[in-house]
Amino acid sequence: MKLLRFFLIVILLFPLNSLNAVENNKRNEITKNLRCLICQGQSVYDSDSEFANSLKIVVDKKLQEGLSEHQIYEYFKTKYGEWILYDPSLNKNTYILWLLPILIFLIGGAIIYKSFIVKK
Amino acid sequence: MMKNKILPFLVIIIFGIVFFIFYKSLEDSKIYTPDVNTKKEVPVFNTKEFFSGENLKSSSIFELDKVYLLNIWSSWCVPCRQEHPLLMNLNSENKVNIIGMNYKDNLKNAENFLIELGNPYKEILIDLDGTLAIEWGAYGVPESFLIYNNEIIKKYVGPLNQGLVDEINLLIK
């Protein structure tokens, strides 16, 4: 009987717990990509300021409303602008940021190709 | 042989450009300055009224063709205490309807704050967990929004001072 009760408790607790964990993971993932605007160099996830704490509640609410990660980012973008996102999208203000590493990589590759492979 | 001479030059030029970009951005301010001039619509929200505890809808607060100043405040916020006399003055001139938003506060403390310093607000909304302030795109307390025709004309982050009050008076003329 005791064993049965034990198993019943485990079965009842387990799915709820894991559901909660999934939601928290999602929330953490999103808040890690949001900049805490009033802190210096901290994400919303890292910060414990009033602003960041409220933002975490809003993210939770939006997740409960069934919004996708992308929709939540869009929501914060309309409220606070592009700056709140750590992962900026590709547009005319950010194209250097995105293309420079690729360009440098290609030039580096060309140098290696010229000096090592062609010489042989 | 020509190619071998171009390559070092190219590398130096690229490093030069990268150095220049980084050097330039050293002078930039690292403190985020929010965009205060963007015109945005007043958000849609539901909340409770401070004194009566009744439900309030955003549409019933802001009427067209009237100027409103939404002020986010809190009893624990020291700069709010400094700007409060300015709000009292602004209210006595009767040119703008001041709406308060009580941010993450203990309601008893907030009431004492108003008893001590006066109540310039036509209506006060309650924002217990700070989510309503996020809806407005606010950063914290104090913060003020000048509203006309359901549009946010201007946003003031931080406490108001006499200069800013003069600016508000100019804007609402």
CA–CA dist B160, B80 (Å, integer)? 9
Q: Is the pLDDT of residue B103 over 70?
A: yes
Topology (CATH level 3) of domain A2-87: Helicase, Ruva Protein; domain 3 (1.10.8)
| Sequence spans of domains, chain A | 2-87, 90-120
Q: Domain of B73?
A: 40-171
Query: What does the block give as tokens for B38?
Result: 């963007």
- B125 in a structural domain: yes
pLDDT band at B2 (very low <50, low <70, confident <90, very high): low
Phi, psi of A110 (to 5 degrees): -65, -40
Helices marked H in chain B: 2-26, 58-61, 78-92, 107-117, 131-135, 162-171
* Residue with the two structure tokens 């408790």: A9
Which chain B residues contact residue A50 at CB under 8 A?
104, 130, 140
Total tally of structural domains belonging to chain B: 1
Torsion angle defined by CA atoms of residues B140, B138, A38 and B102, in that order, rounded to the nearest 10 degrees: 10
Mean pLDDT of A10-37: 79
Q: What is the pLDDT of residue B7?
A: 82
The residue of A30, A60, A80, A93 whose CB has the most chain B CBs within 10 angstroms, and thus the best one to mutate to test that interface, is: A80
Helix (H, G, I), strand (E, B) or coil at B57: strand
- Given a contact cutoff of 8 angstroms between Cβ atoms, the answer to whether B77 and B147 are in contact is no
Q: Is the pLDDT of residue A71 over 90?
A: yes
Sign (positive or negative) of CA dihedral B48, B52, B56, B62: negative
Q: Which of B10, B30, B131 sits opposite A58 (nearest CB)?
A: B131
Q: Is the pLDDT of residue B78 over 60?
A: yes
- Given a contact cutoff of 8 angstroms between Cβ atoms, the answer to whether B168 and B106 are in contact is no
Phi, psi of A53 (to 5 degrees): -65, -40
Beta bridge partners of B56: B47
Share of chain B above pLDDT 70, in %: 92
Helix (H, G, I), strand (E, B) or coil at B100: strand
Mean pLDDT of A80-96: 79
Q: Which residues of A touch B (CB under 8 A)?
A: 37-38, 40, 50-51, 53-55, 57-58, 61, 79-81, 83, 104, 107, 111, 114
Q: To the nearest whole number, what is the mean pLDDT of chain B? A: 88
Of the candidate ranges A48-52, A85-89, B154-158, the one whose mean pLDDT is the lowest: A85-89
Query: What does the block give as tokens for A110?
Result: 């060309």
Q: What is the pLDDT of residue B96?
A: 92
Mean pLDDT of A35-60: 91
- Given a contact cutoff of 8 angstroms between Cβ atoms, the answer to whether A85 and A35 are in contact is yes
- B145 in a structural domain: yes
Instruction: Report pLDDT digits (tens) over B36-60.
Output: 666 788 888 888 899 988 898 888 8
CA–CA dist A100, A102 (Å, integer)? 5
- Given a contact cutoff of 8 angstroms between Cβ atoms, the answer to whether B62 and B149 are in contact is no
CA–CA dist B162, B65 (Å, integer)? 25
Q: What is the pLDDT of residue B74?
A: 95
Q: Is the pLDDT of residue B161 over 80?
A: yes
Of the two residues A96 and A74, the one the predictor is more confident about is A74
Q: Is the pLDDT of residue A93 over 90?
A: no
CATH number of the domain that residue B66 is part of:
3.40.30.10
Q: Is the pLDDT of residue B152 over 70?
A: yes
- Given a contact cutoff of 8 angstroms between Cβ atoms, the answer to whether B143 and B156 are in contact is yes
Q: To the nearest whole number, what is the mean pLDDT of chain A? A: 85
CB contact (8 A) between residue B30 and residue A40:
yes
Q: What is the pLDDT of residue A25?
A: 86
Of the candidate ranges A54-58, B40-44, B140-144, B162-166, the one whose mean pLDDT is the lowest: B40-44
Which chain A residues contact residue B76 at CB under 8 A?
none
- B75 in a structural domain: yes
Q: Is pTM, for the whole model, over 0.80?
A: no
- B95 in a structural domain: yes
Which chain B residues contact residue A42 at CB under 8 A?
none
Phi, psi of B120 (to 5 degrees): -85, 0
